[in-house]
């Protein structure tokens, strides 16, 4: 259980640091999602190769996930040690994907 | 021990070559002095972060590991499968427009959850409860649409296991795709269902006026989990619905 001081300081931090562009992030997420849905249909029409389409979708997904993590999960406003915490598994993700690609 | 000199450092150039390098460290350790004292470190790196919130983040890290493995297994199945359907072709069994709407619903639920945390932090319980309820409704809608899609796909013959009856609109060669699809979206759906249950519990407690349920930290901790299932779906949706092979 958290100490009262830590909990209180956390609530204070949440209250003070909330100048967040929630609506803007929502709009951006929606716009990027619409683009994602259209890419597989329009890509071949514009002569974009399948590998470029996959790359675009991976990059757009990573951008969307970053927006959610930074603004909705408040990682942007958290102490550095908490920002680092979720980065560890990302190295694991990259490693796994590289192994799959290598095969 | 003649000729050995235990310095306070790990290894001293002035020490005789026969001195074991770890001697100083062992000596310091035996004296009960932390070796880290000599370097740059923080005694309490997580000071100021509540333990409940830190615990949730550690749990989320384990969830990222879990879904990473699951997605990597799905990718491995995909690249090794004899056949994989291409999106935007008549044979592709999944309904992209319906799931796109579902994706918007989940993204919107993340927005309402963030607003609920914001309202709780600014001591606006009525606004917080309204956004919390909206999140619950959106989350329930997401699960309902996924259940509808599963039932439709099952009726058409796309199953997670080899088909036992031949009467189906889905070709047999989609078996591997079905396994990968149901495994990944199924585990995600189970996590969303867990989040919906947590939201339902929090809603009941908040609407009944329990003080702990309207605290910013409580709402934030539930919100962190909810956002994670959104993040996972952000990757799963293009992977299963938009990318071929």
Chain B residue with the nearest C-alpha to that of A37: B242
Return the DSSP state at A74.
Answer: -
User: What is the predicted pLDDT for the residue at B127?
Assistant: 93
Give the side-chain half-sphere CA count within 13 A for B105.
Answer: 19
pLDDT given for residue B9 in this prediction: 47
**Predicted pLDDT at B104:** 96
Residue B75 to residue B60: CA distance in whole angstroms: 22
Q: How far is residue B24 CA from its own chain's centroid?
A: 44
pLDDT tens string, chain B, 245 residues long: the values are 444 444 444 444 444 444 555 556 566 556 665 555 555 656 677 777 888 999 999 999 999 999 998 998 898 888 888 888 888 788 888 999 999 999 999 999 999 999 999 999 888 999 999 999 999 999 999 999 999 999 999 888 888 887 655 566 666 777 889 999 999 999 999 999 999 999 999 999 999 988 887 788 999 999 999 999 999 999 999 999 998 87
Q: Is A15 in CB contact (< 8 Å) with chain B?
A: yes
Q: What is the pLDDT of residues A62-94, one digit of tens each?
A: 999 999 999 999 998 888 888 888 887 888 788
Instruction: Tokens for B19, please give them.
Output: 């001195």
Q: Are B210 and B158 in contact (CB under 8 A)?
A: no
| Side-chain-facing half-sphere of B78: CA atoms under 13 Å | 21
Nearest to B177 by CA among B49, B77, B62, B72: B77
Q: For residue B87, what pLDDT is reported?
A: 84
Q: Which of A34, A99, A100 to mutate to test the interface with B (most CBs of B within 10 A)?
A: A100
A19 at interface of B, judged by CB pairs closer than 8 A: no
Q: Which of B42, B58, B121 sits opposite A11 (nearest CB)?
A: B121
Distance of CA B218 to the CA centre of its chain: 18
Taking the Cβ of residue B184 and every Cβ of chain A, the question of whether any pair is shorter than 8 Å is answered with no
Q: Do A6 and B108 touch (CB under 8 A)?
A: no
| B64–A57 CB contact, under 8 Å | no
Q: Which of A26, A85, A97 sits opposite B57 (nearest CB)?
A: A85
Decide: B61 and A89 in contact? Cβ < 8 Å: yes
How far apart CA B136 and CA B124 sit, in angstroms, is 18
Q: Which residues of A touch B96 (CB under 8 A)?
A: 37
pLDDT tens, position by position, A14-62: 555 555 689 999 999 999 999 999 887 787 788 888 888 888 999 999 9
Is-contact A61 B103, C-beta < 8 A? no
With contacts defined as CB-CB under 8 Å, which chain B residues touch A81? 42, 45-46, 49
Q: What DSSP line would sit under chain B, residue for residue? A: -TT----SSS--TTS-TTS-TTHHHHHHHHTT--GGGGS---S-TTTTS-HHHHHHHHHHHHHHHHHHHHHHHHHHHHHH-S--PPTTSTT--S-HHHHHHHHHHHHHHHHHHHHHHHHHHTT-HHHHHHHHHHHHHHHHHHHHHHHHHHHHHHHHT--SS--S-S--SS-GGGHHHHHHHHHHHHHHHHHHHHHHHHHHHHHHHHHTT-GGGGSHHHHHHHHHHHHHHHHHHHHHHIIIII---
What pLDDT was estimated at residue A94?
81
State whether B49 and A10 contact (CB < 8 Å): yes
In DSSP notation, B63-112 reads: HHHHHHHHHHHHHHHHHH-S--PPTTSTT--S-HHHHHHHHHHHHHHHHH
Pick from A82, A68, A72, A77: nearest CA to A14: A77
CA-CA-CA-CA torsion sign (A39, A41, A45, A48): positive
Q: A6-41: buried (b, 16+ CB within 10 Å) or exposed (e) per residue?
A: bbebbbebbeeebebebeebbeebbebbeebbebbe
* pLDDT at position B2: 43
Residue B37, pLDDT score: 52
Q: Which chain A positions have a beta carbon within 8 Å of B234's beta carbon?
A: 61, 64-65, 68
């Amino acid at each position: 259980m958290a100490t009262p001081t830590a909990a209180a300081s956390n609530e204070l931090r949440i209250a003070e640091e909330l100048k967040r562009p929630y609506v803007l992030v929502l709009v951006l997420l929606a716009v990027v999602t619409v683009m994602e849905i259209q890419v597989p249909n329009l890509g071949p029409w514009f002569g974009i190769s399948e590998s470029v389409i996959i790359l675009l979708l991976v990059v757009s997904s990573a951008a969307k996930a970053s927006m959610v993590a930074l603004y909705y999960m408040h990682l942007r406003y958290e102490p550095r040690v908490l920002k680092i915490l979720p980065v560890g598994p990302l190295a694991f993700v990259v490693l796994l994907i590289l192994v799959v690609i290598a095969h | 021990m003649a000729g050995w000199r235990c310095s306070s450092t790990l290894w001293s150039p002035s020490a005789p070559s026969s001195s074991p390098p770890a001697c100083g460290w062992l000596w310091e350790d035996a004296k009960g002095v932390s070796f880290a004292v000599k370097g740059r470190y923080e005694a309490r790196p997580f000071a100021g972060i509540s333990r409940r919130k830190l615990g949730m983040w550690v749990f989320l890290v384990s969830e990222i590991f879990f879904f990473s493995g699951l997605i990597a297994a799905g990718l491995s199945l995909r690249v090794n499968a004899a056949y994989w359907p291409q999106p935007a072709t008549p044979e592709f069994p999944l309904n992209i427009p319906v799931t796109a709407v579902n994706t918007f619903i989940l993204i919107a639920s993340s927005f309402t959850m963030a607003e609920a945390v914001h309202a709780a932090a600014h001591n606006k319980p009525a606004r917080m409860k309204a956004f919390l309820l909206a999140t619950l409704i959106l989350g329930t809608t997401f699960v309902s649409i996924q259940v509808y899609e599963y039932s439709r796909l099952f009726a058409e013959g796309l199953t997670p296991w080899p088909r036992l009856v031949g009467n189906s609109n889905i070709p047999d060669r989609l078996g591997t795709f079905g396994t990968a699809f149901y495994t990944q979206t199924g585990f995600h759906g189970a996590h969303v269902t867990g989040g919906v249950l947590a939201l339902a519990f929090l809603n009941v407690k908040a609407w009944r006026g329990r003080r702990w349920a309207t605290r910013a930290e409580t709402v934030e901790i539930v919100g962190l989990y909810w956002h994670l299932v959104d993040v996972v779906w952000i990757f799963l949706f293009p992977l299963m619905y938009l990318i071929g092979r």
